Amino acid sequence: MNTTAKRRPARDRILETASKLFYAHGIHAVGVDRLVAESGVAKATLYAHFPSKDDVVAAYLRGMDDDWRRHLRSAALAAGEDPREQLFGIFVALEKTAREGRLGCAFISAVAEYEPGSAVHDVAAEHKRTVRAWVRGLAAAAGAADPDTLSFQLTLLIDGTLAATRVEHAGVTAEAAKQAARALLDAACPR
């Protein structure tokens, strides 16, 4: 019986390696040679799947987008049926994320490293717009008088929390965000 695990496809190994390295070190700090070496693929294989490093970055961000939005939706649904509590559930998830040691935001990092109008910047900005639209839908369902403003405030709070965990104690930052979110929800969505 063969006990050797089947090797994952090259594209998957490239993206897993990119995810680990980009998140830990930043996108520009990680070169193609390091991606090749740590993923165990040939440079020609990397370029067969991704014509440029920016294509690797865009694919990495799309994967992060799927994972992060799934995480947020799961947290919202775990908070119950009330859209107001679902919005608060996002901040409970942020606290859990901080406790797990996942710090920072891949999308904020990407927009900091790429010019507006670049493909990478556009992927990151689209993620932020998509999350805000989803939060806006929950804010409207929760009865917010101004769901646009509330969704903007809450997503700013999410982004600020993720950014602050890079410089402040993550648990304290997440708890402060939960308190601020509760205050915003109490003011914008009276029961």
**In the prediction, which pLDDT does 6 show?**
62
What distances in angstroms separate CA 182 from CA 89, 90, 99, 175, 187, one per listed residue? 10, 11, 20, 11, 9
Distance of CA 48 to the CA centre of its chain: 27
Q: What is the pLDDT of residue 174?
A: 86
Domain range list for the chain: 9-51, 62-188
Please, what is the Cα angle at 187 between 185 and 189, to 5 degrees? 55
| Three-state DSSP string of the chain | CCCCCCCCCHHHHHHHHHHHHHHHHCCCCCCHHHHHHHHCCCHHHHHHHCCCHHHHHHHHHHHHHHHHHHHHHHHHHHCCCCHHHHHHHHHHHHHHHHHCCCCCCHHHHHHHHCCCCCHHHHHHHHHHHHHHHHHHHHHHHCCCCCHHHHHHHHHHHHHHHHHHCCCCCHHHHHHHHHHHHHHHHHHHCCC
Tell me, what's the pLDDT at 103? 64
**Nearest Cα to 13, choosing from 59, 67, 72, 81?**
59
CATH domain 62-188 topology: Tetracycline Repressor; domain 2 (1.10.357)
Q: Looking at residue 99, what is its pLDDT?
A: 74
Residues of the chain predicted below pLDDT 70 = 1-6, 101-103
Class of the CATH-defined domain 9-51: mainly alpha
Give residue-wise pLDDT tens across range 131-170: 999 999 999 999 999 999 999 999 999 999 888 877 777 7
